Amino acid sequence: MKRWLVVLLVVLALIVLISPGIVGRLAEQNLKGSIGWAESQSEDFLVTEEIFQRGWFTAEGRHRIELKEGELRSAIVELTGREAAADDSIPALVVDTRIDHGLVPITSMSRASGSLMPRLASTVSTMHLDPGDGELIAVPGALYSHVGLSGETASRYLLDAGRFEDENAKVQWSGADLSVTANPSSRSMQYEGTLQPASVESDNDFAQVGLTRFSGDLRQSEYGFAVGSIKLDIGTLSLRQGEGEGVTTGFREIALDAGSEIEDGRVNAKSVLHLGGVAVPDFGAVDVDMDVTVSGLEARSTQTIIAALKARPDDPAALASAYPHIESDVQKLLSSGAEIRFDRLDVSLPQGEVTATLRFELPQTDGSAEFSWPSLLLALTASADVRLSVALMEMAQEADPQSGALVAMGILKEDGDFYVMSAQYAKGLLTVNGAPLPIPLPSR
């Protein structure tokens, strides 16, 4: 019995004293792998290691997160007026991290969120913002992370209520609690968080956002793009520009529930969106509800098309130049069949409302046959049901008298307090409110 007790004590001593050095190297390798994986998820960010000093029980590192050349960086350059900006003149986030490593990270007990739970590493990170001139500004809050034995990293960012004020701006926040769990080996992550109300005031501009909650997951597919889910709820957002009451925009609430998946080489996605009380000049508060489903997109063609579009700037000329490179993939995508449904598309204004349901379906066609746009249009089936309040229609006619032609042509038909349209399309024939409207199709 005593011999087994001695063996147990020796094993425990090895775990506590010897394992930190070994696990420290594993933790460093895991950190580098996690950074590489995170960087691969976005083409806009570059993560560089400025310092990493590994001791036996602890390690300290500094990493710099900055923007690569791209659309986001160009937008910030334009926004800040920094033309021909040098690399160090773009804002960057500087992250300082302390790592307590070892199968039993005993040194972590000397700080907040410390734990003796077995893991590769336990870290705490503080952040500074480099606005572009090298003078660091402390970012409030701290990021606590735990690297599991399997390489999974669980991180939690905690922010207490606070405020910042100088001669140019005043910022107030009520706190935040954000969590992310990432697994580089499975290329997946889960996230959730709560952002308490916050406000920013600068000169004659003011912005305030209410309570925000979000959650979701993200995983890299075998086709090179990510799929997953997200739920987002944002409270009131108010934006004011100008002196006095100024120009005020914003919304009362946003709720988004969206997700995507790949099944049998097909992409399926669904999104339900509610925008409440959107302030629209000259109209008042507008509510928007949308329920969209996309089913059966061929994943491999989708991958090629997404990659080609991301590689070109967001302007019509560049997008047009991309088409010859993806034409065969576009044709394959369409020939493989798909369905798009707007099960709900409602817009409610103080003057009235518009409701609609839309459906577009392409069946899968013979892949060995020569692609033909006319054949594709003949195979397409679609439908649309629209209801437009009489009050809105009268307002549209006042703004543009030519809109009354829709009623004269029978495209919109009065039904009580609404104008309605029921349209179906199949085999090249469009039927609107029961009246056939043949559509001339181009020859092959």
SS3 of the chain: CHHHHHHHHHHHHHHHHHHHHHHHHHHHHHHHHHHHHHHHCCCCEEEEEEEEEECCCEEEEEEEEEECCCHHHHHHHHHHCCCCCCHHHCCEEEEEEEEEECCCCHHHHHCCCCCCCCCCEEEEEEEEEECCCCCCEEEEEEEEEEECCCCCEEEEEEECCEEEECCCCEEEECCEEEEEEEECCCCEEEEEEEECCEEEEECCEEEEECCEEEEEEEEECCCCCEEEEEEEEECCEEEEECCCCCEEEEECEEEEEEEEEEECCEEEEEEEEEEEEEEECCCEEEEEEEEEEEEEEEHHHHHHHHHHHHCCCCCHHHHHHHHHHHHHHHHHHHHCCEEEEEEEEEEEECCEEEEEEEEEEECCCCCCCCCCHHHHHHHCEEEEEEEEEHHHHHHHHHHCHHHHHHHHCCCCEEECCEEEEEEEEECCEEEECCEEEECCCCCC
- Token pair, residue 80, equals 């800040």
First to last CA, the chain: 90
Length of the chain (residues): 444
Backbone angles phi, psi at 144, to 5 degrees: -110, 130
Q: Are 306 and 225 in contact (CB under 8 A)?
A: yes
Query: At residue 202, what is the residue type?
Result: S
Q: Are 198 and 172 in contact (CB under 8 A)?
A: yes
Could you identify the residue written with the tokens 């020939």?
A: 335
Nearest to 302 by CA among 334, 342, 258: 334
Could you identify the residue written with the tokens 């986001």?
A: 72
Backbone angles phi, psi at 162, to 5 degrees: -170, -175
Please give the average pLDDT of every successive group of 10 residues along the chain, which has 444 residues: 42 39 47 54 68 69 73 52 50 79 51 52 80 77 77 83 82 91 82 92 84 93 90 89 68 94 95 91 86 95 84 64 83 92 94 94 82 87 95 85 83 91 91 83 56
Report CA 179 to chain centroid distance, whole Å: 16
- Token pair, residue 267, equals 């992409």
**Whole-number Cα distances in Å, 118 to 16, 73, 181:** 11, 41, 17
Neighbours of 213 (CB within 10 A): 14
Q: CA 124 to CA 266: how far, in whole Å?
A: 41
Residue 230, beta-bridge partner list: 216, 258
Q: CA 96 to CA 187: how far, in whole Å?
A: 25
Nearest to 220 by CA among 43, 36, 67, 40: 40
Nearest to 419 by CA among 407, 430, 409: 407
The residues near 376 (Cβ < 8 Å, ≥ 6 apart) are 334, 335, 362, 365
Q: Are 116 and 104 in contact (CB under 8 A)?
A: yes
- Strands 212-220, 188-195: parallel, antiparallel or unpaired by DSSP? antiparallel
At residue 6, the pLDDT reads 39
Query: At residue 399, what is the residue type?
Result: A
Q: Are 194 and 211 in contact (CB under 8 A)?
A: yes
HSE (side-chain half, CA atoms, 13 Å) at 318: 8
Q: State the sign of the Cα–Cα–Cα–Cα dihedral 109, 115, 119, 120.
A: negative
